Structure 1
């Protein structure tokens, strides 16, 4: 996962950063966390989008995006697609192929 990691008093401390190019936003520049799980939970509560490699095999690693740079979500199946090519009216190619009606259109 793209993160800044340093060791203080033999503990791993983490700070989250956005994977969007040119994004300078950090989860909280002044706050460091001793527990990665707490950091990720707080980030999600603050609107961050965290994509895990085991859920998205096309990714080389886990990735995260701040609320300003969230990836699009399919309006029908709610899947997050790392590559939005082929999307139409907020639907992913799989839902379009299956001819699932878009409730939001």
Structure 2
């Protein structure tokens, strides 16, 4: 496994722990279908939230949140609807958030953008 994949997996674990600290319930991790993958699906107490996790070792090449282009946001929304359809959850009750993580000496700094699309 290469170092970028290991960093991504560490970031997803840290993101799931962060969401749990917020009181959210992590329902699924790395949900896959033919069209792609969702990193985390959680419930915030009111509704389901798909969480895209972007992890970087530094911001030398930009902030991890900059990786969410309009095309990526549209793809996340389509995947969220697909997940909701397969789980019998009304699509209007599913939000999409993005978590940007950057490593630091204490683990990660986390920036959480809500309702990105």
**Radius of gyration: which is bigger?**
1
Whose strand proportion is higher, 1 or 2?
A: 2
Using CA pairs under 8 Å that are at least 6 residues apart, name the structure with larger relative contact order, 1 or 2: 2
Whose helix proportion is higher, 1 or 2?
A: 2
